[in-house]
Structures are given as C-alpha cells and as structure tokens.
Amino acid sequence: MIDLYKLEIFNAVAMEGSFSQAARKLTLTQPAISHHMRDLEASLNTTLFERGARGVTLTPAGESLLDYTRCILQLVAEAQNAVQQVDALANGQVRLGATPDAGFYLLPQWMQSFHGRFPSLTTSLMTANSSRIVTAVAANELDIGFVEGEVSVAPPLQMAVLQPVQLLAVMGEQHAWWGETAVSIHDLANHPAVLRPPGSHTHTWIQRVLSQHNITLHVVAEFDNPESLKSAVAAGLGFTILPEWAVANGNERLQALPITGANFSRTLKLVWQEERPLTRPSQAFLIHLSDQFPTLTRFAQTNYKIDLGLPSRRAYRASHDCKAC
C-alpha cells in the first residue's frame, strides 16, 4: 500500500526538482527525503526520478504517479474540509440584524424554516435602524445584516440588493380612504399621519420623497415599531406608511393602498464584511434563502462558492483538470 506521507514528500520533490529544496520546504533532512523516496520506489518496483548534477527529473513512471498524487492530495484536502464543515454545521450560531420592519415580518419566518432544516444551529436577531445594523456588522457584532433604503457602506463592508419593497398607505376602517383602490401623494397632507420617529431611516426617506413634491404631513403620533403603528391606525388615529410585507398576512381592520404620484419603492439589502469570511452556519443561512432570492444564489456562489453537500466522485472528476482521475 502506498504511504500518503510519502506521496506528499514525492509531490514536494517533483515540484522543487531537488531533494535538498524539498527538504527545506518540508523541514526535513535531505537523507530523510532520500530514504522515503527509495522506499516509495521499492514499494512500486520502479524508478521515479532521474538523478543529475542539477537536481532530479521525473521518469515516465514518475510523471504518471505525479498526476495521481495531485488528485489524491486534492481529494484528501477536500475530505478534511468537508469533515470540518459538517462539524461546523453540527452546532453554531448565526447572528442576524435587521431593520424593525424586516425584523418583525421577514426574519422570524426565515429563522423558523432555517431551524427546521438545521435544527442543531441557533439564530439570534437584533433589530435596529439601518445605520446601527451596518455599524454592528462592521464591528463583528453581527454576521449578516438586512437593511432597507439608501444605505451606503465603505470597504470592508459590501452590500447586495435582494428585492424591491413597495411602501403602502395603511389605514383603519373608519378612515375616509377605506374602500378606495389607491391614494394620491397630494392627498396625504389632508389627513393625520402616524409615523416612525425622526431618527429612523424610514421616516427620513418618507419625508425626503414628500419634500420633493412640496408636501408636509400632519403627524399626530410617532411609534418606534410597526405593530404599534398598525394598532394606532386600526384604532382610527390616522394613516401610516409601511412596507408591503407588514400587511401581507391581511387584517380585516386594516387596508393597504398604493400611493400614486411618486415612487414609494425601496430595496431590501444584505450587508456583510468582505474581509471576514462568513461562518459555515452563516453560509448555510444564505443558501437557505437562495430559493427566494435568485440574486443571493449568484452572490453566494460568486463570493463563497458555497456547497452544503459533497460532490460525487463523477462530479469531482468532471470539474477538475486532472488527466489521471
């Protein structure tokens, strides 16, 4: 049986073209290298090297063995990596961050389905405004962040767009708009509004859109989470503006209408730190979401070449440039 350790030494000698250079690379003595190579040649009953004054070259038998050796060593490295990945998915945590709207209405169901697929992994979720999420990712407090709107990042942070998000006017059944099919942006100023507080990115973004049309809202109350906004307008306090997913499940006490006359569309984005490799559990979370977000599939494959399973031997041979395999 061929000794794997001797194949590693053989590969080093073939790459360096010298027993002495291979010895330095492997931190072994030259006599030890020579001894291992004589043993390897004896076990194969062939000569692997042509020894000369300037070093060694491979014989035809040596060239053939080198092709197989490279395949074998590559397979061993992949097997070791695969075992480590399995161990990483046996336990671990994914630290997620999201804006309040995404944190209330998207992340919980994603986390639940992820746990069903990877029951040994845990997830944690921090909700905050987009700036705080970006800061937390940069400080390694979070693995992945989900933010909305016009958020800018600088290296080493990177950002990928996941999907557009439509913002809608939401009101209770007592409201004058109840039963309508849409509401004009110019009509927003004629009714009491309930919004997120001024420190939020959503508040800033809404006010920016309105100011472009010289519209000022009559804000009668502010709440820092979307469920409070929905409860307030259901009670008749006014109307609010929320992303479509906040009302996706339906509520007979609420109605959501598109706003005409302006673009009330934002984007949901993924934030990560490019210089810090994602943990294996975090990679698994991205793969879990990839069916829902095609752009996420391309991102994961391009940036991390993520594959949660082992390739078959046939797939390996087809994807590697190895004439011996």
Whether 93-163+267-304 and 164-265 share one fold: the answer is yes
Give me the pLDDT at residue 159, please.
85
Tell me how far apart the alpha carbons of residues 204 and 197 are, in angstroms, rounded to a whole number.
9
Residue 58: Cβ within 10 Å count: 18
Q: Which of the residue ranges 160-169, 189-198, 207-216, 303-312 would you say has the lowest mean pLDDT? A: 303-312
Q: Provide φ and ψ at 200, rounded to 5°.
A: -85, 150
Q: Domain 4-89's class? A: mainly alpha
pTM for this entry? 0.63
User: Taking a C-beta distance cutoff of 8 angstroms, is the pair 17, 55 a contact?
Assistant: yes
Residue 268 or residue 301, greater confidence: 268
User: For domain 164-265, is the CATH number 3.40.190.10?
Assistant: yes
Percent of the chain exceeding pLDDT 90 equals: 57
Mean pLDDT computed over 73-89: 72
The domain limits of the chain are 4-89, 93-163+267-304, 164-265
Nearest to 124 by CA among 160, 97, 105, 85: 97
Give me the pLDDT at residue 23, please.
94
Nearest to 72 by CA among 309, 313, 304: 313
User: For domain 93-163+267-304, is the CATH number 3.40.50.300?
Assistant: no
Residue 274 or residue 224, greater confidence: 224
Residue pLDDT, tens place only, 112-138: 999 998 888 999 999 998 889 999 998
Sorting pLDDT into bands at 50, 70 and 90, what band is 234?
very high
Mean pLDDT computed over 11-33: 93
Residue pLDDT, tens place only, 249-258: 777 899 999 9
Give me the pLDDT at residue 310, please.
34
Give me the pLDDT at residue 172, please.
95
